[in-house]
Structure 1
Amino acid sequence: MSRFRMHILVCGGTGCVSSGATDVFDEFERILNEENLSNEIQVVKTGCFGFCEQGPIVKIYPDNIFYVRVTHEDVDLIIKEHVIKGRIVDKLLYHDPIKGETESEHRHIPFYQSQLRIALRNCGIIDPENISDYIAVDGYQALGNALCDMSREEVINIIKASGLRGRGGAGFPTGVKWEAAYKNESDKKYVICNADEGDPGAFMDRSILEGDPHSVLEAMAICGYAIGSDEGVIYIRAEYPLAVQRLEIAIAQAEEYGLLGDNILGTDFSFRVSLSLGAGAFVCGEETSLMNSVQGLRGEPRVKPPFPAQKGLWDKPSNINNVETYANIAPILLNGSDWFRSIGTEKSTGTKVFALAGKINNVGLVEVPMGIPLRDIIYKIGGGIRNGKEFKAVQTGGPSGGCIPASMLDLKIDYDSLQAVGSMMGSGGMIVMDEDDCMVNIAKYYLDFTVEESCGKCTPCRIGNRRLLEILERITSGKGTEEDLGELKELSEVIQDCSLCALGQTAPNPVVSTLKYFFDEYEAHVKEKRCPSGKCVDLLKYNIVPDKCIGCTICAKNCPVSCISGERKAVHEIDQDKCIKCGVCLSKCPTKAIVKA
């Protein structure tokens, strides 16, 4: 039984740390020591609570009081009022902008009400650097059950029966993948965790590793037992220093407790895990490129077949899943496949973690049952669009996904539904766009990313995507033609059909989906030489409305290239040939006489 009467949980995920959570944690420890309270009140640095928009977050347990946007200056107030006197600090509670009320418990906050946490079950609850915390919430129980009471085939059959699909790509059935690696006999096999999360705006895997590293280690050991492997490798990008640090601590602790290493739990099963740091190449998220990188080779995809289950790392049978997939394994073994299948849809069971980002009020990490309508994610959980703007589209699946328009807000989010509308689940990035975003420019942005990240091994990806980008650059600069629109579609189809790996095959998705759902914007760029959203600088013009101009000269004085002329108290003019479209005049005009056209 804990000797502490109260625990103060401070979010220690990267998002909150970047907002000052470390200072908050240190201040709690300092003041509690000064007040001689450290023997009865413990400060715990947890993983991510998910509600990144409101960080740093502090939760008081067992009171279940949820404080948001806490600074180190607030710590003294929390201790004096809440900890010592038992008074809730109202000004630090979450304020619901719709209800106009404050909420003291996180379960009452709309952001959390539609969520169901399985992969994120321990994030924000336990100390990720203390294995005892993980064991206290049934950690390593699933591994013990598997080693002591189950055959390898039984473990695989439970995972197959659960319907769990890979959470990092196209959604291949996890149990089927494990079974393939199990059936391929070899003197050596490998279990690989893909933690190379490279999608812009994605931070799901990072948060799990920072907040609950043992859940991944336990799942990898279970997989090792099931397929007959004694060695695991976690391939993680070096840009995740906090996740790397906590994994190293977790591995050392698990070895010390006899939960990794030789003869685990007194059985004849041995399993060790090591880390391999990646340099941040997006293509290394593809499984065969990843394995090449681990081996010290250039990060390029291999021709398949043979598949990794046949010939993987060091040419040995290997199983590879991403972080979120592994995070679901222990709960499935503990609760059963029927329990997992009862969540989600028939073909997309369980939950999915999404990183909500972009033009949304509640930026954060969410976990929802498969099949939830997109509308619920955007408006119930996400709190709607910033500044009261209209929702325009959402990009799912990262650079390899597609843009889903506002007309599909009631789309149910699962693997098959997303694929049917030209997008994909991917690892779970969800970038929200509003009425001010230009969808042609968005397609160009994502294609520019994939062109930069292409390994260059196959011609369709190396050359084809470069040609697509050049066409989009012409269109957004006002030099596009109607023939370009047909060429975009035709070239995209060739690249999708002929590229060697998934990076090339899916790279045109943003182009294809925006052509399908926002063709009117392409036509405006090409036929009218106009960007409806005013984002494409080369198509932008700033004009002065004569009836509103009072001749105050403020715009002329602030123009960095002196392209605005006119006498005082007279209507001014903009020299379009000199104008660099910086927008300074628009922001400085006191009468709103300057408009974008």
Structure 2
Amino acid sequence: MAYKKHVLICGGTGCLSSKAGTIAENIESLLVEKGMTEDVQVIKTGCFGFCEKGPIVKIVPDNTFYVEVKPEDAARIVEEDLIKGEKIETLLFRDPVTKKRVEDSDHMDFYKKQQRIALRNCGLIDPENIDEYFGNRGYQALGKVLTEMSQQEVIDEMKLSGLRGRGGGGFPTGLKWQFALNNAADQKYVVCNADEGDPGAFMDRSILEGDAHSVIEAMAICGYATGATKGLVYIRAEYPLAINRLKKAMAQAKEYGMLGDNILNSGFNFDIEIKYGAGAFVCGEETALIHSMEGERGEPTSKPPFPAESGYWGKPTNVNNVETLANIPEIILNGGQWYKGIGTEKSSGTKVFALAGKINNVGLVEVPMGTTLREVIFEIGGGIRNGKKFKAVQTGGPSGGCLTEKDLDVKIDFDSLTAIGSMMGSGGMIVLDEDDCMVAVSKFYLEFTVEESCGKCTPCRIGNKRLLEMLEKITKGNGTMKDLELLKELSETIKDTSLCGLGQTAPNPVLSTLNNFWDEYVAHVKDKRCPAGSCEDLLTYSINDKCIGCTACARVCPVNCIAGKVKEMHVIDTEKCIKCGACYDKCKFGAIDRG
């Protein structure tokens, strides 16, 4: 049916939790009521990326982009936009810098510098309708390799593309496929690693929610190239929407002959099953993941042998993460040289980041490799919230490091980030401002890695626990200069001696903050002071001369440590103060100092 307009509504996890499903239902019922169902189609898509402003409703073909839509706005969208053709000013995005309303996504800074390859269909198609994937060149790449290319030709194209693993390791994808092809066996496997567990990261989950067919197609292509007939998707059970859409996509692909026996009458057989993870971060490491799929403890093993030689049930196994796979159909259709022309010499293509933290524009961004941190944070991200000063950005999640203002013009690629003490990782990017304590940030990530350690090797199991204890000691005001020396020494030892990537990279946040924020550590140790005013045990509350004696602070103090008469300046008894912050939050006149 030729519709005059389409109403695209974000159907990602974030927007659905904010009643995007109700918005879709309301618009559909109004279209039925007004007899407009033959002119307008409502489609629930995957994530648009601009998660901060969800729920998002986009009207095409004019690309009107409505943000923070509520269920009660459905009537206005139908009456004013779809019937009268008028833009609803109050639902348009307001630029945080210019304060002007922007009508369409093409003119939004958030999207201007993005190049969407892995996310190409997210926010564009109905992920539960295989026909829409077909309409966007879906499964053409699979058809091409099965009818026009040999196994080696497919792998050569992947090598030419320069695609490197997007799960964190950055290993050349074509080379990994070559190893799997070269190892002969009666059975081989293709594994999709969808065990995304970095704090603040949601790239892979969003791809599976918005474009699961691209991953299925890529796995089949990999299976053909490496000689594998069996695929497995290892995904966290806590991602129900992604699992549901993946299941539907697999069923549709099988119904249309894109999975199963004799695909496209080529004689090639390939099928996929789902394996569920219980949320262990260490199972993102490929050997731990494989053991988990086999029903064993999710613990890594030393390599070699690599999975391409001996993986799932001892058979040659190729493991790629979701984002890596999502690039592959486009590489096959456009050629490896096309992909190689995007990005930098040693890091080709694009990278998806989950941009979060103290930033105006939070969401998923996909940019060419070589884009600078400054461009991502201050152009795409719209700068720091509330006019605060930029302090640092943590790239690579708990495995990465904190970068400062001096690093803002560094190009984002695998080697450049590693050279300055951080890493690409899977794509988490958390922005910090002047109110963030870097010692506390290190402690936060160490708490995570200590919790997620599988415990197999002593450096990670014991060493990271000792690091965390020292950081806790420092943030409570009990640290010594000797502790700072031990922090660095122990961190370097853990990096050198841990068994897998979790332990080897766990000290990165500590080392990077020690290098870049040494004075802040010293202030905690020598002055017993947190410069950012974040560590509660080091805070001191006092009242300044802005106090008008309104008594609001005294009335909320749970331990009655604030004294003073009405309309006279009050005083805090620091001996009794429990540093709860209730007075600071209650005061409307900026009369409470915290530091």
State the TM-score, normalizing by the size of structure 2. 0.98
1:580 to 566, 578, 581: 578
Q: CA deviation at 1:590?
A: 4.4
Matches within 5 A, 1:6-85: 6-85=5-84
The residue that corresponds to 1:596 in the other structure is 594
**Alignment partners' CA distance in 2, 1:502 and 1:98:** 40
For residues 313-347 of structure 1, the C-alpha deviation after alignment (integer angstroms, 9 at most, x for no partner) is: 11110000000000000000000111101100000
The residue that corresponds to 2:165 in the other structure is 166
Paired letter, 1:157: D
The DSSP-based 3-state class of the residue aligned with 2:169 is coil
**Alignment partners' CA distance in 1, 2:113 and 2:505:** 31
Paired letter, 1:146: V
The residue that corresponds to 1:381 in the other structure is 380
The residue that corresponds to 1:231 in the other structure is 230
The residue that corresponds to 1:563 in the other structure is 561
The DSSP-based 3-state class of the residue aligned with 2:44 is strand
**Alignment partners' CA distance in 2, 1:347 and 1:420:** 14
Matches within 5 A, 1:208-223: 208-223=207-222
Matches within 5 A, 1:111-126: 111-126=110-125
The residue that corresponds to 2:256 in the other structure is 257
Computed over aligned residues only, the root mean square deviation of the Cα atoms, in angstroms, reads 1.1
Matches within 5 A, 1:327-366: 327-366=326-365
8 Å CA contact 1:359, 1:432 repeated in 2: yes
The DSSP-based 3-state class of the residue aligned with 1:186 is coil
The DSSP-based 3-state class of the residue aligned with 1:212 is helix
State percent identity of aligned pairs. Answer: 65
1:89–1:555: structure 2 CA closer, same or farther, 3 Å change rule?
Answer: closer
Q: CA deviation at 1:550?
A: 4.1
For residues 395-437 of structure 1, the C-alpha deviation after alignment (integer angstroms, 9 at most, x for no partner) is: 1111011001122111111000100011111110000100000
State the TM-score, normalizing by the size of structure 1. 0.98
8 Å CA contact 1:57, 1:66 repeated in 2: yes
**Alignment partners' CA distance in 1, 2:387 and 2:568:** 36
**Alignment partners' CA distance in 2, 1:566 and 1:58:** 53
Matches within 5 A, 1:318-329: 318-329=317-328
The DSSP-based 3-state class of the residue aligned with 1:277 is strand
**Alignment partners' CA distance in 2, 1:77 and 1:267:** 52
**Alignment partners' CA distance in 2, 1:58 and 1:542:** 46
The DSSP-based 3-state class of the residue aligned with 2:430 is strand
Paired letter, 1:478: G
The DSSP-based 3-state class of the residue aligned with 1:70 is coil
Matches within 5 A, 1:276-425: 276-425=275-424
Structure 1: tracts of 5 or more residues without a match: none
For residues 200-233 of structure 1, the C-alpha deviation after alignment (integer angstroms, 9 at most, x for no partner) is: 0000001100000000000000000000000100
**Alignment partners' CA distance in 1, 2:232 and 2:552:** 62
**Alignment partners' CA distance in 2, 1:260 and 1:574:** 71
Paired letter, 1:594: I
**Alignment partners' CA distance in 1, 2:278 and 2:150:** 38
Paired letter, 2:591: A
Q: CA deviation at 1:570?
A: 4.7
The residue that corresponds to 1:537 in the other structure is 536
1:543–1:308: structure 2 CA closer, same or farther, 3 Å change rule?
Answer: same
The DSSP-based 3-state class of the residue aligned with 2:198 is coil
Paired letter, 1:259: M
Q: CA deviation at 1:579?
A: 1.4
8 Å CA contact 1:289, 1:300 repeated in 2: yes
Q: CA deviation at 1:94?
A: 1.7
**Alignment partners' CA distance in 2, 1:243 and 1:274:** 14
Q: How many residues align?
A: 595
For residues 495-514 of structure 1, the C-alpha deviation after alignment (integer angstroms, 9 at most, x for no partner) is: 00000000000000000000
8 Å CA contact 2:96, 2:360 repeated in 1: no
**Alignment partners' CA distance in 2, 1:352 and 1:372:** 10
Q: CA deviation at 1:91?
A: 2.2
1:567–1:289: structure 2 CA closer, same or farther, 3 Å change rule?
Answer: same
For residues 513-533 of structure 1, the C-alpha deviation after alignment (integer angstroms, 9 at most, x for no partner) is: 000000010000011110000
Q: CA deviation at 1:89?
A: 2.0
The DSSP-based 3-state class of the residue aligned with 2:269 is coil
Paired letter, 1:281: A
**Alignment partners' CA distance in 1, 2:162 and 2:496:** 28
8 Å CA contact 1:170, 1:424 repeated in 2: no
**Alignment partners' CA distance in 2, 1:448 and 1:114:** 35
Q: CA deviation at 1:557?
A: 1.7
Structure 2: tracts of 5 or more residues without a match: none
Matches within 5 A, 1:192-207: 192-207=191-206
8 Å CA contact 1:531, 1:540 repeated in 2: yes
**Alignment partners' CA distance in 1, 2:591 and 2:95:** 37
**Alignment partners' CA distance in 2, 1:440 and 1:291:** 35
Paired letter, 2:354: A
